[in-house]
Structure 1
Amino acid sequence: MTDQTTEGPDAPRGCPVAHGGVDVARLYGPEAAADPYGGYERLRKEYGSVAPVLLEGDIPAWLVLGYRDNRRVLDNPGQFSRDARIWRDWQDGRVEATSPLLPMLAWRPDCASQDGEPHRRLRGAVTDGLLAASGRGVRRHATHFAHKQIDAFADAGQADLVADFAEYLPMLVLTRILGLTAAEGRSLVEACAQVLKGGEDAVAHNDRIIRLLGELTERRRAEPGSDFTTALLEHHAGLDTEEVVSHLRLVLIAAHTTSNLLARVLQLLLTDTAQLSGLISGQLNISAVVEEVMWNSPPLAVMPGRFAATDLELGGHHIHEGDLLVLGLAPGNLDPEVRPDPEVSVQGNQSHLAFGAGPHECPGQNIGQSIIEVGVDILLHRLPGLCLAVPPEDLTSTASAWESRLDSLPVEFAV
């Protein structure tokens, strides 16, 4: 993370301003991406549990690093709103309409952007729809697509479990649940990746997602089916077209982060022989492995975003009404105040931040975990002698402000 030194006699230490304040670390760019976890710890050492940072376009934000402060923000929507319409930098015109931040931070008519009664109305529709979808066979869909992905490389004796498996499995399952075709699902993988990556193409890819999901909504309005889209359209909450499309997009983005979680679970199994042998022998279950990854490498390292509903203090810093806060799920999970020794096992402890917390806690987490459990189980049964094809230290990741994704996971296996 690089520092931008600015000067201003009236700005208090830690004030997150792009110009006229203090040394502020960028949460984006090559240096930040090269060592995101090291960057979090440097910020923690300098600022404590909350640090001023700059996002793409040098837009100021507060990065919440402490576990307890993350929980305070997540659990108190009255103080820390999800409504981006109160975001001061947006109101003042400092955020361009083409900003790559907007696909992740802008207000939308979905439950993730609402608080109070509007949130409860929309969240109820999403929860009911996902519950109905999971009852119609998430594991069956995951089994079908896991075998289909493996069939494509099973005879080769080698594969990249990121590009050939993890990147697609959750997305294919979720697109089936939504009512999209497999071909549409595959085409959306790259678009979702670009939205999370940021950069100049993020808005265009987000527009493409919205267009495809809008077309799906109109198809299902004319021809209802047994899918999540139809469930939203027919829900008694009375969602309009824009609300339906926004929630379909929300679920797709969540599916893409699940692919990152699956890749990290596979990485842990293939670089830790004790974990793999424990799983194969039955002494360890996959849920315990997933829990460890969610503590140490959550699929979203930083969650966007909350907006201060009033002036307040957090982590010893004065937060102004309308300030943007981004939630450091990864650094929060590694906060030395709650994990003084990160090497100590966290098996059985589900109090990690990976799914968020409070009213906006991820409603589809059970679906994601089911997909991972099925995918890992089928891989281990289909690919005898599965092992890493490169030294563990050769594995690399690419980080954005929001996530750190494993680039590849080359493996070999018996044919």
Structure 2
Amino acid sequence: MTDQKPDRPDAPRGCPVAHGSAELARLYGPEAATDPRGIYERLRKEHGSVAPVLLEGDIPAWLVLGYRDSRRVLDNPRQFARDGRIWRDWREGRVAPNSPLVPMLAWRPDCVSQDGEAHRRLRGAVSDGLQSAADRGIRRHATHFANKQIDAFADSGRADLVADYADLLPMLVTARILGLAEAEGRRLVESCAQVMKGGEDAVRHDGVIREIFGELAERRRTEPASDLATGLLEHHAALDHDEVVAHLRAVLIAAHVTTNLLARVLELVLTDANRLSGLISGQLNISAVVEEAMWNSPPLAVLPGRFAASDVELGGHRIEEGDLLVLGLAPGNVDPEVRPDPDVSVQGNQSHLAFGAGPHECPGQSIGMSIIEVAVDVLLHRLPGLRLAVPPEELNSTASTWMSLLDTLPVEFEV
């Protein structure tokens, strides 16, 4: 980087910026909020499968756009570690403690932030806890909360299936699994949303989440129950207080991501009469619709993050030790090298990036799928004549660095 303009934000050290380019692309701000796909495709044309970008606070990173390069990063934790303590910009003080990147990228005592034996120990505890929760009846909890949410608007003939349903249902089910009261689960909906959105309130809301789970962990030490908090405390891996809190938080954040997937599945169903009638008649399986959403609108568009453990070449670029990489799950899923025609059906193909891959692949994906299946099934059978209340082209999304969220999904139905 010898030809940077003096007022230009620093790029990753190995970044080969195109001559004459005024600045790196930002994954935040007005353009990123309204046209993230346009940014991804422009970067792919300019830089190939890996591109230099700026995150909030003008912190440099590499955005991995290619499917195969994303799999290489995800499958090789020795080369591309999850431990944020090796992040050079963090080590050298360029990331402020109140940066909105901290809740998503900084090291925490959970399995998401660690590799090797430490990761296996902690992930084993979480996986065992989630399996126990599934055995106790995820679908029963999902059915209860789906009906409860629908009861609140069933007599009106109208609803916004984002704000009234999708934003809440996975969070309420997960709160029950974790050991929280329903009121606490509802309180955490906004905090999770703010953490994922970024901005100046992200760190404060992350503190709210950790405070609630800290109190829950203390309660469960003396008042054990059939929930994930108790399961983590009693697990033979012997998690300490901070590890328990960090994992409860991680599972809740994953549930918030599931809210976006549910919204996208409902969008697909309600914008296509054939899908809707197929699901109602039983001729179409909901899993096929979920697969389509996973490929074309993954709930997490950009996965944070990995850190180069040593100098390495990726996508024709030199990545230096300590560089931050973020994984473009959305652009990776439409990489022309693996999907030359994105309109070709992906039914039956589960090799999408939506759940991640490698040792850190989402351990709770079966629970999320169960919640979505129940949510769609209950909705379609409770609300006769369900239909979109606006033309499909009027539906809009707003993106943050990490997610592209459907703003509203207004519907009408018979009462």
TM-score range, shorter chain: over 0.9
- Mapped to 1, the partners of 2:21 and 2:92 lie a distance apart of 18
- Mapped to 2, the partners of 1:11 and 1:377 lie a distance apart of 48
Describe the superposition over 1:349-373 as per-residue Cα deviations: whole angstroms up to 9, x where unpaired: 0000000000000000000000000
User: In the alignment, which residue of structure 2 is the partner of 1:216?
Assistant: 216
Q: Does 1:301 align with 2:294?
A: no
TM-score norm. by structure 1 comes to: 0.96
Q: Does 1:349 align with 2:353?
A: no
- Mapped to 1, the partners of 2:343 and 2:94 lie a distance apart of 43
Q: Alpha carbons of 1:22 and 1:30: their partners in 2 closer, same or farther (altered >3 Å)? A: closer
Q: Alpha carbons of 1:12 and 1:262: their partners in 2 closer, same or farther (altered >3 Å)? A: closer
SS of residue paired to 2:98: coil
**C-alpha contact (below 8 Å) 1:257/1:299 kept by paired residues:** yes
- Mapped to 1, the partners of 2:269 and 2:190 lie a distance apart of 26
Describe the superposition over 1:115-169 as per-residue Cα deviations: whole angstroms up to 9, x where unpaired: 0000000000000000000000100000000000000000000000000000000
SS of residue paired to 1:356: coil
**C-alpha contact (below 8 Å) 1:65/1:335 kept by paired residues:** yes
User: In the alignment, which residue of structure 1 is the partner of 2:337?
Assistant: 337
User: In the alignment, which residue of structure 1 is the partner of 2:167?
Assistant: 167
User: In the alignment, which residue of structure 2 is the partner of 1:77?
Assistant: 77
User: In the alignment, which residue of structure 1 is the partner of 2:318?
Assistant: 318
TM-score norm. by structure 2 comes to: 0.96
Q: Does 1:93 align with 2:93?
A: yes
User: In the alignment, which residue of structure 2 is the partner of 1:232?
Assistant: 232
SS of residue paired to 2:60: strand
User: In the alignment, which residue of structure 1 is the partner of 2:104?
Assistant: 104
**Structure 1 portions without partners, runs of 5+:** none
**C-alpha contact (below 8 Å) 1:149/1:164 kept by paired residues:** yes
- Matched ranges for 1:357-376 at <5 A: 357-376=357-376
User: In the alignment, which residue of structure 2 is the partner of 1:38?
Assistant: 38
Amino acid at match of 1:200: E
Describe the superposition over 1:358-409 as per-residue Cα deviations: whole angstroms up to 9, x where unpaired: 0000000000000000000000000000000001111111100000001110
- Matched ranges for 1:377-392 at <5 A: 377-392=377-392
User: In the alignment, which residue of structure 1 is the partner of 2:411?
Assistant: 411
* Shift of residue 12, structure 1, vs aligned partner: 9.6
- Mapped to 2, the partners of 1:242 and 1:207 lie a distance apart of 13
**C-alpha contact (below 8 Å) 1:7/1:21 kept by paired residues:** no
Describe the superposition over 1:68-97 as per-residue Cα deviations: whole angstroms up to 9, x where unpaired: 000000000000000000000000000000
SS of residue paired to 2:62: strand
* Shift of residue 314, structure 1, vs aligned partner: 0.2
SS of residue paired to 1:300: coil
**C-alpha contact (below 8 Å) 1:14/1:51 kept by paired residues:** no
SS of residue paired to 2:305: strand
**Structure 2 portions without partners, runs of 5+:** none
- Mapped to 1, the partners of 2:143 and 2:150 lie a distance apart of 11
- Mapped to 2, the partners of 1:71 and 1:342 lie a distance apart of 19
**C-alpha contact (below 8 Å) 1:112/1:119 kept by paired residues:** yes
SS of residue paired to 1:57: coil
SS of residue paired to 2:381: helix
* Shift of residue 16, structure 1, vs aligned partner: 7.9
Amino acid at match of 2:267: Q
Q: Does 1:7 align with 2:9?
A: no
SS of residue paired to 1:90: helix
